[in-house]
Amino acid sequence: MTKQLREVLDEWAGEVRVPHDLADRVLRRRARRPWVYGAVAAGVAVVLAVVAGVVLPRQDDMTVRPAVEVTLPERPSPAPTDVRTDVDNMPPKKMIAAGNYAVSAYFTTSTEKLEGRWERARRTWWLLDPQTGTYEKTPYAWVDVAPGLQVAAVLEGEVMGRRVGILDLTTRQFLTWIDLGRDVMGLKWSPDGTKLLATAYTDYPGRWERVDANSRMAVDSDRTGFVVVDVPAKKVDFRPLPLNEDLVRGNDFSWSLDGTLVWELVGGPRFLYYSLDGRPHEALQEHFSDANVAALSPNGKLLLGEAGLPTRITDVATGRVAGRQQALQLHAWADDESVIAVRCKDDCPSEFVGALVLIGVDGTEKTQLTGYQNSQEDGAWQWVLTPR
């Protein structure tokens, strides 16, 4: 074997990723395996030993080593605006969408026991397949879908990680993997879908020490700064940033609405803004909804109010209430007259039992989008809304 061939094989070996449920997939003889990716070359056999036997990756499951730059798929134009619901399954199996936004992914959170009295929260992620209109469980630590629903970023790892995969949601193939050089969580695509923001930690902030059955002691958040990734150029920049003393514990960084700055939430609440090179920046006059997306209507005339039954929407020009809604939270504008909101069940005997609904500015419910769930129960799912 030549030195050049050995070097190529070493590089490929570093890119092979075997899904945790590969054996189950083989036994079930699934025809479509979107999470299986491997690499083979003429004269080289990559053999995976499993209980069921020996399996070779299919040609359409192979990861191709990318060029230096990455070409991202274009966003659909015009974007779809139809309404899709799944009120029968919990969590949903079919695509949830209304107007400008879709549920691109969701996660459930479970408590995982560690050594001694230590525990941690662990997220399990499901990702939308736009081609089938269904959600598929993933093995990743974090998932975020870019505006347009054409590409997703996945973080390799259990609860944190340092390698991000860029997945084409149409072909179900990875465009590239990018090493961030440090452990991160909280992946977020920029509004234009070309950059990624991640928050760096030395230790996972979602862990605690169990004191007794009803109490626990959280650890200090060892956040070190944020990472900005120019995805097409595969350029990674880390911005060290000291931890604010009044930081909301475990708080990740987020994008400004125009994607030119990042911000963090501190006690008050207050928003501290930074330029992409990590320098403090004057705060912007921005309005975010309860889902951390734009609270201003697409035509700029109406503004979503804060959480609390009932919610309200105000006229920007006059400041007057344009409508009240029997909702718990207002999440995103489906269009200029309709809002994706969380409404509690019946006469709201519990504020924790709710569903996503499409509601008018005047409070008229137009469509129930999901089934009702108790957000405090184990296995409750949390949606992620992404512009279509």
Q: Are strands 373-374 and 101-113 parallel, antiparallel or unpaired?
A: unpaired
| Predicted pLDDT of residue 315 | 98
Residue in 18, 22, 38, 41 with CA at minimum distance from that of residue 30 = 22
- The Cα–Cα gap between 159 and 142 comes to 8
Half-sphere exposure of 257 (CA within 13 A, CB side): 14
| Predicted pLDDT of residue 15 | 43
284 DSSP 8-state letter: P
- The Cα–Cα gap between 209 and 314 comes to 44
Residue in 90, 137, 96 with CA at minimum distance from that of residue 331 = 96
Residues facing 225 on adjacent strands:
200, 240
Work out the number of other CB atoms within 10 angstroms of the CB of residue 143.
22
| Predicted pLDDT of residue 146 | 98
pLDDT tens, N- to C-terminus, the chain (388 residues) = 444 444 444 444 444 444 433 333 333 333 333 333 333 333 333 333 333 333 323 333 333 344 468 999 999 999 999 999 999 999 999 999 999 999 999 999 999 999 999 999 999 999 999 999 999 999 999 999 999 999 999 999 999 999 999 999 999 999 999 999 999 999 999 999 999 999 999 999 999 999 887 888 887 768 899 999 999 999 999 999 876 665 555 589 999 999 999 999 887 678 899 999 999 999 999 999 999 999 999 999 999 999 999 999 999 999 999 999 999 999 999 999 999 999 998 877 778 899 999 999 999 999 999 999 999 888 899 999 999 9
| Predicted pLDDT of residue 244 | 65
| Predicted pLDDT of residue 56 | 27
| Predicted pLDDT of residue 12 | 43
| Predicted pLDDT of residue 266 | 83
| Predicted pLDDT of residue 84 | 98
Residue 284, exposed/middle/buried by CB under 10 A (0-12, 13-18, 19+)? Answer: middle
In order of their start, the domains of the chain are 3-61 (no CATH), 139-286 (2.130.10.10), 302-374 (2.40.10)
Q: What are phi and psi of 307, to 5 degrees?
A: -65, 155
* 3-state class (DSSP) for residue 59: helix
Q: Which amino acid is at 354?
A: G
| Predicted pLDDT of residue 379 | 83
**What is the maximum alpha-carbon separation in the chain?**
77
The structure's pTM equals 0.81
